[in-house]
Amino acid sequence: MIEDLWQFRSSIELPEIINEKDLSELFNLDAEELPRLADITVFTGDLSTSASMRRLAGRNAYRVARLPLEFSGIQCSGEHLLRLTSPDGRTWTASPPRGFALDDELPWLFANDEFHYRFVRQGAGSVAAQSALVAIPQDWSLRELDEQTSVQFIGTIGDLARSAHTFHGLVLAEDNCGNAYKLRTGNAADTEESYEWFGRRLWYELRGPFIAFRERPSLYVVEEDGTKRKVSGEIKCSAIGTRESASYGPIEARYPTNGEIKHRSRMLILPETSSLQIQPDDAHGGRIIFNGWRASAVITLTPNVTSEYVTSDGTVFLDVSVEQGTKTPETIDVKVFWSHTPNPVEIRVPFPANGVRGFDQNGQELSPLDKLAVQDLLGTRLIAMGLESGTKVRLKLTATDKDISRKHNIKSVPGALTTEIRIADYRREIDHLHAIDDNPDSTVGLNVEIDGESMYQLNILPYQVRPERDDVKFWIECNSHFLDRMPSSEVLAHALALERPGEEPEQLQRLDGDNGGRIFWNFHPEDREDGAWLIYPPKDSALQFRPMLWTVGAEIESGSQYVRATSTPNRIDRETSLDEFIEAIASDFTHPGWIDVNQLANQVGHLPLSSLDIWRRFVRSSKAMAALALRFNNFRGDFLARFDNELPFSWDTVIFQDWKVASVRLQQQITTLYGKEQGPTIFRAFLKSRVGDITAELGSLFYLFGILQAEYFDEEKQEASLVRRIFGPQAGDYLFRGENSQLMNLRRGHLSDDEEWPVGFDDLLASARKGQQVRPYLYSERLGFQDGVINLPLILAARVAFGETRGWFSDPKNVSLLHDYRSFDPDWFDEAFNLTIARCLANGLFD
């Protein structure tokens, strides 16, 4: 509380693990339709926040990224909705328990919950607690109904124009129309029940009222434990703005029909056979059909959009267009009128423009063939409409200079008005394609194909702009559109001597003056110490330009192996020196060189990892990556997870022996730092946490890390013993035999004629079939073009167990192939890898 001003907040708690059954029931879809990866978004009004989720390997459950999903302010009183978004374009919407909107004309009752007051119900009612808070409009009255009751005004609630009163006992809240609501505390038998509508919900984007149903819904009481029962008695439905009964259009539904109001909602009810249809004509206009709505008129509210409507047999046909040369909006707002009520309904609908359109995070339309930086992907989306049933939409991502591509079939939920592609959902694959050839300037081409015809293209770059330089200064060029949105003063540049990563970076001074869209900085190398200087944008810069290395002077003489390696001018010699340095620190977790590595990660870890030679050399060594992952350090955020995305590397190519040795060195390091008393506790906590972070991103390592942890944890030791004795010997049958085997699930899931199985694995597969060690773990039958997808995870898992994965570290193209095959069916890849590890354990390969 700040003086007498109270803040209104709302939040939703998602469990870290959600089982598949609960998720499918919440969104009213079959479990088979659930995507492997998705975003779950909570939104109310114009506010929204999201968390990512992914299916756990071998389990019918999802792990949710634990993020605070909460809001504050006036919009918290609106309905809260959940939206599940799949990367393939499908979206589903649901109303969470107690997510209903609060009625402006009802009292809101809150129970005292130690540090805050928790919402219980609106309308008349009681709470079990001895004291409560009621929030009422400021022109209402509140009075005690007996001598034992006390009421105290404690302030107002933010922008809601409501008075907050605490009370205990029995009070009466009265509005200016004579409606009265009794509120009581201390009713021990009272439960925190709520009211919810259930019916054929329509997820239109309404501006008021905010909920819509096809046919009249039913009202249920929902108990604290989630059980539901239909209310007894009648629901009174009247047209908003009148007292006349109504069965469709904007209505007010109240319960019960007479007496104290226990629940009331405003909603749009449409007839049983109604629908909303979009019919694009061209890029500048089309028709919106309010089929069977029984409306009398529809008008547009969006500026520069012309419209005309006609009605026929309860249907309104709205033709909309924009003039040539006028920007076509993404959406338009319309008002729908009915003859029996003076209150229209506002609804936002897609503008019916034909084809595929792109919009950036600011709502600005992207032109086909535009260049887009990966830093700008979040919020950027492609919209396709006017697609007939059966239309095939495909997203193709291509490494333009290597002709290597990833293809995704885009789907839509039946009844959806548009098909939306969120480009950020494919960030991982875009990063993989950028990393194919270890080239920091690579480009990824994005292509949307409709029925095989290219309809929209973009080029995606790893940075927003590339700097240029002369002998003393450097500069970047910004287009006028960017400078209109963001002043050049917010574009920053830092310089850091790579030999001294622990020093504070220098913020470079920008040259003043109008330079025709160019922004200049002085560097003055003649005034600087010799060495390798990294020029880069800090994290808070408005624009992320490509980092640039500026070498000053000759190679530095130093006793530090890191300094000598970093300052070597010749690229080949520098890479050799870096490899020697990395090998040295990977063999000794107390090596002083780790200080430089940690400082470098903390100072410039936000930059693309391909910007620095040292990260590109780390991923050439299985031993080094195991050390980087398991050494006790303070890396920030998702730094480790990015190696798998931004560089030619995959965590499941690290051999088991390197993980095992790294865990031993981690234990020694922590014992050295914290002693024999505290050390074991800190070691176990860190190992468990770090392993959990990696397996959350890569489910294929679940069994391998279980075996690793069996050395240190009793639970994992028992599980590994069961796998060794019972499950491991049968894992081959679970993979390959029977109609319900994992192999049959793979083959049944990819029967479509337009789905291309990845190729390019023939040489590696032929070599594996000749090898005595790996061959027993392969699938024995030959199935032609399916063989690569089937056998790649089997080969990789076996070679991880045998310690033979050098081929994936020496050639970036092999990692690209690995990512390509994994993305075709991640569930098969993870299951096949894990079960092959189980077979290897049963055969004694980890003893």
Domains of the chain, each with CATH number or no CATH: 5-94 (no CATH), 108-184 (no CATH), 355-461 (2.60.40), 698-842 (no CATH)
Tell me the backbone φ, ψ of residue 528, rounded to 5 degrees. -115, 160
Distance of CA 717 to the CA centre of its chain: 34
Q: How do 315-321 and 331-337 pair as beta strands?
A: unpaired
Position 153 pLDDT exceeds 70: yes
The alpha carbon torsion through 289, 293, 294, 296 (nearest 10 deg) reads -60
pLDDT value, residue 599: 92
Position 804 pLDDT exceeds 70: yes
Which residues are within 8 A (CB) of 597 and not within 5 positions of it... i.e. 6 or more apart?
562, 585, 614, 628
Lowest-pLDDT range of 16-20, 697-701, 761-765: 761-765
Model confidence over 28-79: pLDDT tens digits?
889 888 988 899 999 888 888 888 888 876 678 888 886 777 888 888 888 9
User: Which uninterrupted H or E stretch holds 692?
Assistant: helix 656-697
Instruction: Please say whether the beta carbons of 829 and 822 come within 8 A.
Output: yes
**Mean pLDDT confidence for 225-238:** 90
Q: What is the mean pLDDT of the chain?
A: 89
Highest-confidence segment of 246-250, 400-404, 473-477, 690-694: 246-250
Q: Is 495 exposed, middle or buried (0-12, 13-18, 19+ CB in 10 A)?
A: middle
666: which 2 tokens? 């981690």
Dmax over Cα atoms in the chain, in whole Å? Answer: 93
**Polymer length of the chain:** 847
Q: How do 170-174 and 194-202 pair as beta strands?
A: unpaired
Model confidence over 537-595: pLDDT tens digits?
998 888 889 999 898 887 677 668 888 888 887 889 889 999 999 999 999 999 999 99
Model confidence over 478-520: pLDDT tens digits?
765 555 566 667 889 999 998 888 899 999 988 876 567 788 9
Instruction: Please say whether the beta carbons of 235 and 257 come within 8 A.
Output: yes
